[in-house]
Amino acid sequence: MIKILIVDDEKPICDLIDINLSSAGYQCRSVQDGLEALDLIEKEEYDLILLDVMLPGADGYDIMEYIRPLRIPVIFITAKHEVRDRVKGLKLGAEDYLVKPFDVVELMARVEVVLRRYHKTESILTAGDVTVDVEARKVTKAGVPVFLTNKEYGLLVLFIRNKNIALFRENLYERVWGDEYLGDSRTLDLHVQRLRRKMGWEEKLVAVYKIGYRLEI
């Protein structure tokens, strides 16, 4: 299981990130102090660190310099939004830089991208009796193979990786179709309806009013 360390001095933010990443199948640990984070990094191995800049004990930049030889990918999550701050974080070796306040869906997408870059994504995804072998691109339900179109498969992977999270229509369309969302949701809705039927998710893949869809597992 992918292990992620969340380091932020605001516990509500740690809890929000933890809940969403854990729902997506990641194993998370969170701390609010820089020195405590360094102690954990020395004792345990992590696949990714989500790191605030302004921390008690040791700030994010100091932590980044300390752990750089360990080659653990880092995404800075901070209220420091100036260009010079972003440049400093990236020059120190961070893979990405996300400014608060942020959308949880955007954070999830960035986490996936960084983990893929480091070849640390899960090769097997599960949701109930549905299993997806990402490397083989095979989908089974209760052990029976299910044929999906490319778009249906893309939606399926997004929903499973973001279980119990409401995904905006715009994000679904842009990430699966690769085009800008222009407000015509019929294509997306038709694909979701077909995916529901094929996976037996009539009660689980629910529409979220004025937002999009959520897979409830």
Q: Identify whether residues 110 and 92 lie together within a single domain.
A: yes
> For residue 181, what is the DSSP state?
-
pLDDT digits 0-9 by tens, 32-78: 999 999 999 989 999 999 999 999 998 899 999 888 888 899 999 98
Q: Identify whether residues 107 and 64 lie together within a single domain.
A: yes
Mean pLDDT of 114-132: 83
What does each C-alpha distance from 28 to 18, 101, 169 come to in angstroms? 6, 21, 27
Per the prediction, the chain carries an average pLDDT of 88
Q: Identify whether residues 54 and 141 lie together within a single domain.
A: no
Q: Identify whether residues 186 and 135 lie together within a single domain.
A: yes
Residue that terminates a domain, selected from 91, 117, 143: 117
Would you call 131 helix, strand, or coil by DSSP?
A: strand
Q: Residue 204 pLDDT > 70, yes or no?
A: yes
Q: Identify whether residues 111 and 175 lie together within a single domain.
A: no
Q: Identify whether residues 102 and 133 lie together within a single domain.
A: no
pLDDT digits 0-9 by tens, 72-114: 999 999 887 788 878 888 888 889 988 888 888 889 889 988 9
**Percentage above 70 pLDDT, the chain:** 96
> Exposure of 31 by Cβ count < 10 A (0-12 exposed, 13-18 middle, 19+ buried)?
buried
H helix or E strand, kind and range, residue 155 = helix 150-161
Q: Identify whether residues 132 and 205 lie together within a single domain.
A: yes
Query: Could you tell me the pTM of the whole model?
Result: 0.66
Q: Identify whether residues 132 and 110 lie together within a single domain.
A: no
Residue 207's φ and ψ, nearest 5 degrees, are -80, 135
- Integer Cα distance of 90 and 108 in angstroms: 19
Domain region containing 97: 3-117
pLDDT at position 180 = 64
Q: Would you say 159 and 142 are in contact if contact means Cβ atoms under 8 Å apart?
A: no
Q: Identify whether residues 110 and 128 lie together within a single domain.
A: no
Residue that terminates a domain, selected from 60, 93, 117: 117
Q: Residue 188 pLDDT > 70, yes or no?
A: yes
pLDDT at position 164 = 85
Q: Quick one: pLDDT band at residue 149, thresholds 50, 70, 90?
A: very high
Report the CATH number at residue 33: 3.40.50.2300
Q: Identify whether residues 29 and 107 lie together within a single domain.
A: yes
Would you call 160 helix, strand, or coil by DSSP?
A: helix
> Exposure of 155 by Cβ count < 10 A (0-12 exposed, 13-18 middle, 19+ buried)?
buried
Q: How many domains are there within the chain?
A: 2
Residue with tokens 């995804």: 125
Q: Which amino acid is at 156?
A: L
Residues ≥6 apart with Cβ < 8 Å to 176: 151, 154, 155, 158
**Percentage above 90 pLDDT, the chain:** 42
pLDDT at position 89 = 82
pLDDT at position 26 = 84
pLDDT at position 189 = 92
Report the CATH number at residue 130: 1.10.10.10
> Exposure of 94 by Cβ count < 10 A (0-12 exposed, 13-18 middle, 19+ buried)?
buried
Strand 130-133 versus strand 138-141 pairing type: antiparallel
Q: Identify whether residues 154 and 113 lie together within a single domain.
A: no
Q: Identify whether residues 93 and 179 lie together within a single domain.
A: no
Residue that terminates a domain, selected from 70, 95, 117: 117
- Integer Cα distance of 171 and 83 in angstroms: 26
Residue with tokens 């095979």: 138
